Amino acid sequence: MLENVFPTTAEIPSQWQLNGTIEQREYLVNGELKLWAGPMNDVVSPVTLNNGNGNEKNIIGSTPLLTEKESLEALDAAVLAYNNGTGEWPTMSITNRIAHVEQFLFEMKKQRTDVVKLLMWEIGKNLPDSEKEFDRTCIYIEDTIKELKSLDHRNSKFENEENIIAQIRRVPMGVALCMGPYNYPLNETFTTLIPALIMGNTVVFKPAKYGVLFIKPLLNVFKKCFPKGVINIIYGKGRETVGALMETGKIDVFAFIGTNKGASDIKKLHPKPHRLRSVLGLDAKNPAIILPDADIDLAVTEVLAGSLSFNGQRCTALKIIFVHENMSGSFIQKFTAAVAKLKIGMPWEKDVKITPLPEPGKTAFLAGLVNDAKQFGAAVVNENGGAVNDTFFYPAVLYPVNEKMRIYTEEQFGPVVPIVPYKNIDEVINYVVQSDFGQQLSIFGKDPKTIGHLIDELANQVGRININTQCQRGPDVYPFNGRKNSAEGTLSVADALRAFSIRVLIATKETTANKEIVQTIVREHQSNYLRLDYIF
């Protein structure tokens, strides 16, 4: 059924054709778009082409393989622009920093079509989801600006405790290194990059492994909208570029979305760990728990979206499904019927849900998980489940899954749905308690008493418990975090502003002379920090 899944060039709608490969040699350092003359990294699209005789690897462009030297130049530029907190950017008024970010947003919006198109080609995300990623990111930036204004309003006052008058404000941390994931290369990266910038930090940004070319249309926008050195964009292998940055000890905040192993390896390189703040979004193995009285149709709809949206490549995806044994038969029947209705195809096709996978070797990895599960007694219970054609993997529903199988604990980050039958809810609670991960979970059921009890058992295990609802990050104003190996720190529109800043207190003893000094500073606008004005 997958023989004809890939298109010939002629079959690609003209609107989505790339018209040649994109050689992207520029990188942004110190306000300058530099041209890289060294080795390049090929960008291979998950959309393999059918050349009439079979599959053909589809190289759609290339990006620079910078070395330690160029990444250290980028760091130097960020360090200089921060200038120990005395640079133009960290000392700029909030109103002016907001104006730069607003200009960036205005210019970024003009690049929507190009960015969306490249997201589809580079990571295989379908058109509505690629558009949503772009639009959600713009809304996130707007909300960040709104939240910063409201934070500023809340802080535009004086406290008076024990005769100490104080004003408390938030100021930047220093130089931030921001790295995002391939599944949300725009959104997740910008949910750290923008708060870092708007709070006055300077940034070195290294795009994800896949989802790199789409930055090209934004390079000029970054260059145009921010003072030199404030944002620096580098490309290349993590080992050569990021490792060198961390070893200098000059990174103050490390924002990273990826694996916990990757995060630990990078963090360890910092020579003064107490001077590094980390904001990390990491692995997860979010369970769905389907109680015996659950509304099956609702559970099927939510678990389908939760486990297979963007082919299961979401950190928040439901990655293991516990179903009470009394209803596992009916659940599987309805679930596999729903999976069969998911349209497969290329990202731009109408209503398509399952698309090719961007990571090289991913289909073999997933097939390995399926074969391992089969060895220990599971079967693929849906028609065509696990069928592979090059970068395309047809969703596999595995049942009955048990603790001997790799898929029981390993994160698949792809279209494999393991279903575990359980007799006693304690088996599920034990799984969650023993898990290395603690991001979210979903409970499906009707009885308030049972659900209430389960919430109490599980509230200290994860960062979010969803009732009759799939796991998800949004709405972005809600805190997004995790325990154990799933995260460090909390992100949300408001929390991210806190993550990239530290409070500074301006305080004085309440004497007539001190009050007069403070009042004069405020009245005559003598300080960017000690002030009572209102940012509209």
Q: Which residue has the tokens 């399926």?
A: 370
The minimum distance between CB 478 and ligand G3H, in angstroms, equals 11
Dihedral sign for Cα 218, 224, 230, 232, please: positive
Q: How far is the CB of 287 from ligand G3H (least distance, A)?
A: 15
464 binds ligand G3H (CB under 6 A): no
> CB 491 → ligand G3H: shortest distance, Å?
9
Whichever of 167 and 440 has its CB closer to ligand G3H, that residue is 440
| CB 291 within 8 Å of CB 455 | no
Number of residues counted as binding ligand G3H (CB under 6 A): 9
Q: Does 188 bind ligand G3H (CB under 6 A)?
A: yes
Nearer to ligand G3H, 89 or 184 (CB): 184
Under the binding rule (CB under 6 A), the answer on residue 256 touching ligand G3H is no
Q: How many helices (H) and strands (E) does the chain have?
A: 17, 27
The 3 state secondary structure assigned to 107-126 is HHHCCHHHHHHHHHHHHCCC
- Which candidate, 237, 236, 213, places its Cα nearest to that of 22? 213
Nearest one of 267, 298, 297, 271 to 282, comparing CA atoms: 267
Q: Is 479 in the site for ligand G3H (CB under 6 A)?
A: no
Of 29, 173, 194, 315, which lies in the binding site for ligand G3H, with binding defined by CB under 6 A?
315
Q: Report d(CA 111, CA 215) in Å as an integer.
A: 10
97 or 473, CB closer to ligand G3H?
Answer: 473
Give the residue from 18, 114, 119 showing the smallest Cα distance to 59. 18
The distance of closest approach from Cβ of residue 86 to ligand G3H in the complex, given in angstroms and rounded to an integer, is 35
362 binds ligand G3H per the rule CB under 6 A = no
In angstroms, what CA-CA distances link 327 with 118, 182, 308, 402, 422?
43, 36, 21, 17, 10
- Contact track, ligand G3H, 71-110, x by CB under 6 A: ----------------------------------------
Candidate segments 203-211, 218-226, 237-245, 308-316, binder of ligand G3H by CB under 6 A: 308-316
Of 64-72, 183-191, 243-251, 523-531, the segment contacting ligand G3H by CB under 6 A is 183-191
Closest CA to 207 of 258, 172, 140: 258
**Per CB under 6 A, 363 contacts ligand G3H:** no
Q: If binding is defined by CB under 6 A, does position 353 make contact with ligand G3H?
A: no
Distance CA 523, CA 533 (A): 9
Query: What are the residues facing 44 on neighbouring strands?
Result: 59
CA distance 398 to 418: 5
Nearer to ligand G3H, 307 or 472 (CB): 472
Binding mask 132-171 for ligand G3H (x = CB under 6 A): ----------------------------------------
**Is residue 125 close enough to count as binding ligand G3H by CB under 6 A?**
no
Residue 260 engages ligand G3H in binding (rule: CB under 6 A): no
- Of 206, 473, 498, 531, the one binding ligand G3H (CB under 6 A) is 473
CB of 475 to ligand G3H, least distance (A): 9
Q: H/E/C letters for each residue in 249-263?
A: CCCCEEEEECCHHHH
Which tokens go with 329? Answer: 């038969």
The nearer residue to ligand G3H, 48 or 309, going by C-beta atoms, is 309
Q: Are 65 and 236 in contact (CB under 8 A)?
A: yes
User: Taking the complex as a whole, how short is the minimal distance between the CB of residue 437 and ligand G3H, in angstroms?
Assistant: 13
SS3 352: coil
When asked if residue 130 is in the footprint of ligand G3H (CB under 6 A), the reply is: no
Q: Which of 58, 71, 183, 278 binds ligand G3H (CB under 6 A)?
A: 183
Helices (H), 124-280: 127-155, 187-198, 216-225, 238-247, 260-267
Residues binding ligand G3H (CB under 6 A): 183-184, 188, 314-316, 472-474
